[in-house]
A and B are shown apart, each in its own frame.
Chain A
Amino acid sequence: MIHSLFLVNASGDIFLEKHWKSVVSRSVCDYFFEAQERATEPENVPPVIPTPHHYLISVLRHRIYFVAVIQSEVPPLFVIEFLHRVVDTFQDYFGVCTEAAIKDNVVVVYELLEEMLDNGFPLATESNILKELIKPPTILRTMVNTITGSTNVGEQLPTGQLSVVPWRRTGVKYTNNEAYFDVVEEIDAIIDKSGSTITAEIQGVIDACVKLTGMPDLTLSFMNPRLLDDVSFHPCVRFKRWEAERILSFIPPDGNFRLLSYHVSSQNLVAIPVYVKHNISFREGSSQGRFDLTLGPKQTMGKAVESVLVSSQLPRGVLNANLNPSQGTYTFDPVTKMLTWDVGKINPQKLPSLKGTMSLQAGASKPDENPTINIQLKIQQMAISGLKVNRLDMYGEKYKPFKGIKYMTKAGKFQVRT
């Protein structure tokens, strides 16, 4: 399946290669570079590039291209999904997935890749299993290893490999047993010029951090499970139980994991937490444009809107922007024409605004496109869909764990057209 993997950095250097079958010359990446040159933006490189003898499937994460070389028919998503899993694993191991981190840990990276694929077919991708095989590098462990001469590599077959619950290792022990769940919802919306909603939907995830001793069996039930329209589960969730009773029943993996991601059914009206009043205009014949933007809270159910960040890609003709924010700070990058305004918290009494002028290229005609405004925000202590967890129970173990649930709402792809 996957023949080789090349990691290419932003400047087009191959800084790591790994082959699972016979060696493929790195010149095969020339086709990739060609496509990269043709694409104007880094994210416009086609994920699948056919070459005379191979196919290149690549993903772009953290400004690194992960280019997989394959030789014959394989579902492209299979490769793409795997590459993303590789990146996730690196992130899990090294904290960040940057070129420097990979270069520093090249041996661990190699050992990981060796375990993750056998002959190009995924072997072990579950983080818990990998961590038993190859322990993540920490400063403490490195020191201990240099002194005692022990290694980072496990000698026994990870227990998860053989069990029915491959995601959990046996013999987990904690002094403080705790289970935290974060319900995070994101609003994706497109608001048109006049302020009416074109499309809006809510996507949510429940991320968990479970540190429990032994083999606990958890159940999580909701007050209003009908809200969840389309769900996708971590493999640990028992699907039958969900189908029958709408209860999440699972033996959790150890540590951090995403338990569930869901979509809130579209019948429910989506509350839009903020509104934007905007007036962005260019006059014919003058080299000046007006920029006027005001934000206000809309349906927030009494909660404060925090960490608001407004960004907008201004037309190419704009040379500079001279603006005056009523709160927060703004930056304008004259090269990329990206305007960002870090608003912070919206105070309903005194609405934040950004006003001023834009200077255009002299003599150029007025740009006929209007910029779209992207908004990021956070609302703590609330899930905008109204989803509520009813209770969390634990079976199979004797102790009393500490349980916690946190709600949060964020703006996902929230765009206002002007």
Chain B
Amino acid sequence: MSASSAFNDEKGGSSSVGEPEYGHDPASGGIFSSDYKRHDDLKEMLDSNKDSLKLEAMKRIVAMIARGKNASDLFPAVVKNVACKNIEVKKLVYVYLVRYAEEQQDLALLSISTFQRGLKDPNQLIRASALRVLSSIRVTIIVPIMMLAIKEAASDMSPYVRKTAAHAIPKLYSLDPEQKDQLIEVIEKLLADKTTLVAGSVVMAFEEVCPERIDLIHKNYRKLCNLLIDVEEWGQVVIINMLTRYARTQFLNPNINESLLEEGGGGEKTFYGSDEDEDDDDEDDKEKKAEAATLAKRKPYVMDPDHRLLLRNTKPLLQSRNAAVVMAVAQLYFHLAPKAEIGVIAKALVRLLRSHSEVQYVVLQNVATMTIKRRGMFEPYLKSFYIRSTDPTQIKVLKLEVLTNLANETNISTILREFQTYIKSMDKDFVAATIQAIGRCATNIGEVRDTCLNGLVQLLSNRDELVVAESVVVIKKLLQMQPEKHSDIIKHMAKLTDNIQVPMARASILWLIGEYCEHVPKIAPDVLRKMAKSFTNEEDIVKLQIINLSAKLYLTNSKQTKLLTQYVLNLAKYDQNYDIRDRARFIRQLIVPTEKSGALSKYAKKLFLALKPAPVLESPFKDRDHFQLGSLSHLLNAKAGGYQELPDWPEAAPDPSVRNVEVKESVPEWTKCSSREKRKEKKVEKPFYSDSEGESGPTESADSELDSASGSESGSGSEESGSGSESDESEEGSESEQESEEDKEEDKKKKKKELKKPVRESESEQSSEEEEETKREKKSKQRKSDSESESDEEEESESESSQSESEDSESEAEVKKKKKAADSKPPPKPVKTENKKEKKEMSLLDLDDFEPSPSPQVTPVNTFMSNSLVTDLEGLSLSDSVLSSATITPSSASKSYELLHRITGEGLSVEYCFSRQPFSPDGNMVAVQVQFNNSAASETKNLHMEDVKLQCGMRVKEFPEIELLPAGEAATAVMGIDFCDSTQAANFQLCTHTKKFFVSIQPPVGELMRPVFLTENEFKKEQGQLMGMNEITERLTLDAKCRNEHTIVQRVTTAANLSRVPCGSDKECRFAGRTVTSGSLVLVSVVTKEEGAAQLTVNCEKMVIGTMLVKDILLALTQ
């Protein structure tokens, strides 16, 4: 055997040299079969009982996967081991499963139940890894299961499991984007999590699933800022990037004054911009607004404390060892910090230049962009960008870019000296880049233009052609700026045409001579003569320039060049390249005067010798900062998939109080109902009351005012209580500082509100306030989190007093909290103390929120209970007459099966039926009633069972021996069998005193369950949890005799041992039961429609039982 396997190995090896993937292709059958055989030994190893063999096999398989070989045909063999005890085998099976599950969806389903079990394991690592693998299996059919698992894990005790749940969210989202809404709910919940472990992962999920839902961040903003330093480094990167975007939408531009000065018209812009927000403005409003705008302009910018918090808490991370974190903070500062504070990032970024070359590459790209906007901050580090000969070329070029951007009047001489050494480098690409850099320095800094030009002209005598060519191109651009001065340089370059062969350089020289032929009147025709000679051997780009040159010369100096031009044009006429032929034809028409030459030829000179604007040598990094720095899109200078645009600063800061309390999304609705008069009032008050506030909220919309006042109020309570638990020791200092800041702000607001109160007394306002309140109440009802709802007037005054009395403020705050909690808790609980009727109503209303606590009517019958008792209870609890009539004692309809035929049994016939009675000695067994009939002439003795052969896990309780069965007599006995929820037969021998008969009992699937009683709500709830793969739906046409409810119920209960569940509609019949051994729920519902059409739904955790049950019930209903 070993020899043959070796042979196969060899063959397989040779086939794998080519493309192992071909193993898939049935066309290449030979390879396929050898591949197949080659894996036989692996399969054998996997099937063995020894863990070590399995492990060895799995290791070889994983090695195959790693090499990219196809191991998919092993799927069935591997998936069997998913429940293996050995943890390493298990892990490797997971690796395999995740890799191939997408290809073999059906087989992958076999493993699901293992993971579902794993999800309930007491060990958090196992729970987490089960969720990880379950969510990594890309099989669409298990989406509901994944959803359920994620939801459950999101409220797990272990933060590690919650973290895994956060990781699973984007997986599910990519598998089925339609789950988005539900996933957002989970994200919202996890965002509120207070552990650092979860924070990074959930923000990552947020960024992948719903980056546009910035409103979810509000209430978590401060928490995220404060946790940031303790989050693991990868999470920090994601959070910082997200917060950058958040801050851009929520705070004002800290450099607004500066940009106002720069742009001049900025003030007007805000004025008009804010005008657009208003639908209907009258003149009064406008005037007041203008006033406010000018006021705002005069006032110094005051940073929102939350904005400050972000900047303060990210700054220490510049010291991180992780380059990605440093970069993230750097970009945050670049985009968000006031100009004066940005400097701090330069040092950290320069430090990164010591890291690996890939890191340098990315950092330099970003530095290059930053240096254009803010040159000053990198100037002190100029020398750090000096180039070493050992740098890779791409790094050299980027450093050059930075150096060029940093060049100014003061440092240009040192930079040029550096450039001089670079030009001598061996790396020619780098030299070319240096020459371009010199060109750019020369254009940007007027004083050194001549020096640069001279230097470049010297380079024209360089031995390396590339260097010369590059210089020519750059010189051309420089000369264009001031051609008059430099006719000698043009002459020098004209001489070069003899030597330079690089087409771009030749073309550039020709263009220069043509353009400035008036400065070199003697040389130009001579150059054209030389060029005409070599015309046919030139490159296309040079040819075009020769035609251009001849045309320009013809127009300025037609005496000398007429014939040459004609010659060149004739040559061009028969050129191979159509561009050149076209150009020649077009130019001939334009410049050579003929009788019918059009009006254009008069203007030929103007056309050709118009003054051309000098080119602007720009950095390729200009304007790249509209991409968020540090992003992939910035690096590529193109929008990458999934890139989130960095929003512009808002004109006016949105309501800052949203971060204090629970999110308030009701603002837009509110705007509608608020009257315009009230707005007017606001406008009048505004400049008057808000002057002390600075600009933190100068143009807060009218409607948010109310929120902010009450909001910040109640928020302070939560902040105080929350900060203690959240912050770690090191943070405390800053925390308290922030708090005091907030307190101040609060006080101000409070005063403001007090002052305002008398003004606002109109009826409409009151009502709208009430509306708002009720609305919010509803909202808080939906939310489970226990943070405060808005505070009412009374509380406000109370809290104010509490704040002034510092001693007992704590206790009072507690009281306040309790009170608030009482107010904000979802109504069902507080109402509990009141009458019960209401409670019932509530429970009916929000079904999903209600916990599976015992319902007021009947406790669910989970424990084993006699059938009749169930029916009794059913009758008791439900007065519904239809139902009670429909309850049938199923045992009457029990069908008997033959165990032993009269003839084979030599006169002894045995039948059995499933009595559907509980088997008293063991609740997990199915009771089987056995009926013996002795039709033989003689009596039978010692009837008993022997040699029971069972599948593993099954058990049998034998019936007591029947000592004597006289002829013609009958006897019954009851035995119990635990079928382990499978329809496998129990085999045994039936012995009499003389004979032994081999018999077997096989249960129909319907007998493997026992009825349970559920209420309608419970049924619905359970059904909701058994979705997806656990649900099987089948359409059917009902048998003609079976179109009324009664018969349906009868037939279903005959087919399966289930009990009826009450149901409101008469179109639907519901049944429930539990499997006898494992107690898994079995839910059946039959919905009838017109003309006998019906839909059968079976929900069962055990998929096999579900499928079989569907078949049986289907059969029962259609025949």
Q: In the complex where A77-B363, A114-B95, A152-B88 touch, is A368 in contact with B463 (Cβ < 8 A)?
A: yes
Closest A residue by C-beta to B426:
A369
Contact A16 B66, beta carbon cutoff 8 Å: yes
Q: In the complex where A114-B91, A162-B160 touch, is A73 in contact with B641 (Cβ < 8 A)?
A: yes
Q: In the complex where A47-B362, A50-B638, A232-B319 touch, is A122 in contact with B348 (Cβ < 8 A)?
A: no
Contact A232 B160, beta carbon cutoff 8 Å: no
Residue numbers in A under 8 Å from B393 (CB-CB) = 40-41, 44
Stretch at the interface among A195-203, A296-304, A397-405: A195-203
Q: Report how far A66 CA is from B136 CA in the complex, Å.
A: 23
Within 8 A of B (CB), among A252-280: 258, 261, 263
Within 8 A of B (CB), among A81-118: 81-82, 84, 106-107, 109-111, 114, 118
Contact B351 A230, beta carbon cutoff 8 Å: yes
Q: Report how far A231 CA is from B92 CA in the complex, Å.
A: 42
- Nearest CB of A to B163, in Å: 8
Q: In the complex where A15-B67, A21-B174 touch, is A315 in contact with B631 (Cβ < 8 A)?
A: no
Contact A119 B170, beta carbon cutoff 8 Å: yes
Q: Report how far A40 CA is from B326 CA in the complex, Å.
A: 31
Residue numbers in B under 8 Å from A76 (CB-CB) = 362, 630-632, 635
Contact A48 B635, beta carbon cutoff 8 Å: yes
Instruction: Tell me if A233 counts as interface (CB < 8 A to partner B).
Output: yes
Closest A residue by C-beta to B734:
A240
1/0 per residue, CB under 8 A from A, across B121-136: the answer is 0011100100010011
Residue numbers in B under 8 Å from A146 (CB-CB) = 52
Instruction: Tell me if B322 counts as interface (CB < 8 A to partner A).
Output: yes
Closest B residue by C-beta to A6:
B68
Q: Report how far A125 CA is from B388 CA in the complex, Å.
A: 33
Stretch at the interface among A153-161, A175-183, A343-351, A386-394: A153-161
Q: Within the complex, which residue of B102, B125, B229, B730 is in contact with A157, where a contact is CB–CB below 8 Å? A: B125
Stretch at the interface among B111-119, B233-241, B283-291, B447-455: B233-241
Q: In the complex where A73-B632, A368-B463 touch, is A166 in contact with B232 (Cβ < 8 A)?
A: yes
Q: In the complex where A47-B358, A199-B386, A413-B388 touch, is A155 in contact with B91 (Cβ < 8 A)?
A: no
- Nearest CB of A to B200, in Å: 9
Q: In the complex where A23-B99, A75-B631, A80-B356 touch, is A156 in contact with B92 (Cβ < 8 A)?
A: no
Q: In the complex where A16-B66, A22-B102 touch, is A80 in contact with B323 (Cβ < 8 A)?
A: yes
- Nearest CB of B to A334, in Å: 16
Q: Which of A14, A75, A119, A198 has the most CB of B within 10 A?
A: A75
Contact A149 B237, beta carbon cutoff 8 Å: no
Instruction: Tell me if A224 counts as interface (CB < 8 A to partner B).
Output: no
Instruction: Tell me if B341 counts as interface (CB < 8 A to partner A).
Output: no
Interface of A (DSSP majority class): mixed
Contact B234 A121, beta carbon cutoff 8 Å: yes
Q: Which of B86, B201, B322, B363 has the most CB of A within 10 A?
A: B322
Instruction: Tell me if B316 counts as interface (CB < 8 A to partner A).
Output: yes
Q: Report how far A232 CA is from B1092 CA in the complex, Å.
A: 76
Residue numbers in B under 8 Å from A365 (CB-CB) = 463
Instruction: Tell me if A229 counts as interface (CB < 8 A to partner B).
Output: yes
Q: Report how far A58 CA is from B138 CA in the complex, Å.
A: 27
Instruction: Tell me if A59 counts as interface (CB < 8 A to partner B).
Output: yes
Residue numbers in B under 8 Å from A78 (CB-CB) = 234, 237, 324
Instruction: Tell me if A164 counts as interface (CB < 8 A to partner B).
Output: yes
1/0 per residue, CB under 8 A from B, across A15-29: the answer is 111110111001000
Number of A interface residues, CB 8 Å?
96
Q: Report how far A156 CA is from B630 CA in the complex, Å.
A: 37
1/0 per residue, CB under 8 A from B, across A28-56: the answer is 00000000000011011011101000010
Q: Report how far A19 CA is from B103 CA in the complex, Å.
A: 14
Residue numbers in B under 8 Å from A140 (CB-CB) = none
Contact A77 B125, beta carbon cutoff 8 Å: no
Residue numbers in B under 8 Å from A199 (CB-CB) = 383-384, 386
Closest A residue by C-beta to B627:
A73
Contact B358 A59, beta carbon cutoff 8 Å: yes
Residue numbers in A under 8 Å from B706 (CB-CB) = none
Instruction: Tell me if A190 counts as interface (CB < 8 A to partner B).
Output: yes
Q: Within the complex, which residue of B99, B174, B392, B421 is in contact with A417, where a contact is CB–CB below 8 Å? A: B421
Instruction: Tell me if B633 counts as interface (CB < 8 A to partner A).
Output: yes
Contact B463 A230, beta carbon cutoff 8 Å: no
Instruction: Tell me if A235 counts as interface (CB < 8 A to partner B).
Output: yes
Contact B91 A415, beta carbon cutoff 8 Å: no
Contact A16 B67, beta carbon cutoff 8 Å: yes
- Nearest CB of B to A233, in Å: 5
Closest A residue by C-beta to B318:
A232
Residue numbers in A under 8 Å from B348 (CB-CB) = 230, 232
Closest A residue by C-beta to B356:
A84
Contact A368 B424, beta carbon cutoff 8 Å: yes
Q: Report how far A258 CA is from B354 CA in the complex, Å.
A: 15
Within 8 A of B (CB), among A210-261: 229-235, 238-241, 243, 258, 261
- Nearest CB of A to B1088, in Å: 43
Q: Report how far A80 CA is from B463 CA in the complex, Å.
A: 40
Contact B88 A110, beta carbon cutoff 8 Å: no
Instruction: Tell me if B150 counts as interface (CB < 8 A to partner A).
Output: no
Instruction: Tell me if B825 counts as interface (CB < 8 A to partner A).
Output: no
Q: Report how far A63 CA is from B976 CA in the complex, Å.
A: 70
Q: Within the complex, which residue of B138, B230, B320 is in contact with A232, where a contact is CB–CB below 8 Å? A: B320
Contact B167 A238, beta carbon cutoff 8 Å: no
Within 8 A of A (CB), among B604-656: 630-633, 635-636, 638, 640-644
Contact B321 A235, beta carbon cutoff 8 Å: yes
- Nearest CB of B to A316, in Å: 7
Q: Within the complex, which residue of A44, A72, A109 is in contact with B394, where a contact is CB–CB below 8 Å? A: A44
Q: Report how far A416 CA is from B326 CA in the complex, Å.
A: 32
Instruction: Tell me if A313 counts as interface (CB < 8 A to partner B).
Output: yes
Contact B201 A155, beta carbon cutoff 8 Å: no
Contact B633 A73, beta carbon cutoff 8 Å: yes
Within 8 A of A (CB), among B323-356: 323-324, 326-328, 347-348, 350-351, 354, 356
- Nearest CB of A to B1113, in Å: 38
Q: In the complex where A157-B125, A164-B230 touch, is A313 in contact with B389 (Cβ < 8 A)?
A: yes
Contact B347 A415, beta carbon cutoff 8 Å: no
Residue numbers in B under 8 Å from A118 (CB-CB) = 132, 164, 167
Instruction: Tell me if A123 counts as interface (CB < 8 A to partner B).
Output: yes
Q: Report how far A26 CA is from B160 CA in the complex, Å.
A: 33
Instruction: Tell me if B159 counts as interface (CB < 8 A to partner A).
Output: yes
Instruction: Tell me if A381 counts as interface (CB < 8 A to partner B).
Output: no
Residue numbers in B under 8 Å from A409 (CB-CB) = none
Contact B201 A238, beta carbon cutoff 8 Å: no
Contact B425 A368, beta carbon cutoff 8 Å: no
Q: Report how far A78 CA is from B642 CA in the complex, Å.
A: 16
Contact B68 A198, beta carbon cutoff 8 Å: no
Q: Report how far A314 CA is from B227 CA in the complex, Å.
A: 54
1/0 per residue, CB under 8 A from B, across A367-398: the answer is 01110101000000000000000000000000
Instruction: Tell me if A324 counts as interface (CB < 8 A to partner B).
Output: no
Instruction: Tell me if B359 counts as interface (CB < 8 A to partner A).
Output: yes
- Nearest CB of B to A265, in Å: 10
Instruction: Tell me if B390 counts as interface (CB < 8 A to partner A).
Output: yes
Closest A residue by C-beta to B90:
A153
- Nearest CB of A to B480, in Å: 29
1/0 per residue, CB under 8 A from A, across B160-173: the answer is 10001001101100
Contact A151 B425, beta carbon cutoff 8 Å: no
Q: Which of B88, B136, B363 has the most CB of A within 10 A?
A: B88
Residue numbers in A under 8 Å from B204 (CB-CB) = 1, 121
Could you show 28 A-B contacts with beta carbons less than 8 Å apart? A22-B138, A23-B99, A26-B68, A72-B643, A73-B643, A75-B324, A75-B327, A76-B632, A77-B323, A77-B327, A77-B630, A78-B237, A80-B323, A107-B62, A118-B132, A119-B136, A123-B167, A149-B51, A153-B87, A157-B123, A157-B158, A161-B197, A162-B158, A164-B230, A192-B421, A234-B321, A316-B426, A413-B390
The 8 closest A-B pairs by CB, nearest first: A72-B642, A151-B88, A199-B383, A157-B125, A73-B643, A47-B358, A122-B234, A43-B392
Q: A60-B357, A122-B234, A151-B55 are in contact. List 4 more A-B contacts (CB 8 A).
A: A18-B66, A41-B393, A44-B393, A203-B354
